[in-house]
Homo-oligomer: A and B are copies of this chain.
Amino acid sequence: MAQQERAIRTRKVILEAAATVFDEVGYEAATISEVLKRAGVTKGAFYFHFPSKGDLALGVLDQAVTTDGVEPQEVKLQEAVDTMLIMAYRLPREPVYSAALRLSVDRNSQRLFGTRWPDWISLLSALLGEAKERGEMYAYIDETQAARLLLSSWTGVQIVSEGLPDTYDLSTEVSRMLQLMLPSIAVPTVLSQLEVSADRSARLVAALPDDEAQDAAAPV
């Protein structure tokens, strides 16, 4: 393995260990020694990549916003839908995403590191803007407002369903949420073409390149 490749892999292993710890106990209670133990790398390698706990949190948050697995679609709105469905499938399976959400919601780490919600809103807003230009969306819908409300609802569905005593499948819940909201956004001819089922998220993730798919299929 080339030296650079090894460094990238080490960084990834450390970030996954950090995500698992942040996800389990939150930022405050997380300790570098616990992350170090789980990552199983040398102290030297560890501190080379992440000199402080804050660097670990920022590293996790930097991975939170992704469109991996979203393929170009004839209907642009489908790409926005796919972005949200894929994340709904991946979050319960990959600690980096649930850790990023926990860091974003926790007010102390929020104050220290901010959130990546503005990036999510920009990303969704750009997709909705293109959809609007193509006439897929009602012209009176503001794409930034709609992006903010979609992201907010997505986030709320994750937080509340995790806090309820019963178990809910996040893909199913997000699919239902989209089914309630999209008819107010997409014009009927486009709405009837959109695929919003929870099954779609699993299929999209299965089509990810090997190392990505491996992450996504990892047990919870």
Q: Which residues of A contact B (CB under 8 A)?
A: 26, 28, 102, 104-108, 110, 114-115, 117-118, 121, 145-146, 148-149, 151-161, 163-165, 173, 176-177, 179-181, 183-185
In whole angstroms, what is the CA distance A179 to B153 when docked?
13
A184 nearest CB neighbor, chain B only: B180
| Residues of B with C-beta under 8 A to A157 | 149, 152-153, 156
Whether the pair B165, A149 counts as a contact (CB closer than 8 A) is: no
Whether the pair A104, B155 counts as a contact (CB closer than 8 A) is: no
Whether the pair A148, B165 counts as a contact (CB closer than 8 A) is: no
In whole angstroms, what is the CA distance A104 to B113 when docked?
22
Q: List 22 A-B contacts (CB under 8 A).
A: A105-B159, A105-B163, A117-B160, A117-B163, A117-B164, A118-B164, A148-B160, A148-B161, A149-B153, A149-B180, A152-B160, A152-B173, A153-B157, A156-B156, A156-B158, A159-B159, A180-B181, A180-B185, A181-B181, A181-B184, A183-B183, A184-B184
| Residues of B with C-beta under 8 A to A152 | 153, 156-157, 159-161, 173, 177
Whether the pair B108, A163 counts as a contact (CB closer than 8 A) is: no
Closest 6 CB pairs of A and B: A156-B156, A153-B153, A152-B160, A152-B156, A155-B156, A152-B157
A62–chain B nearest beta-carbon distance, Å: 17
A120–chain B nearest beta-carbon distance, Å: 9
Given A28-B28, A181-B181, A183-B184: A149 in contact with B176 (beta carbons within 8 A): yes
A176–chain B nearest beta-carbon distance, Å: 6
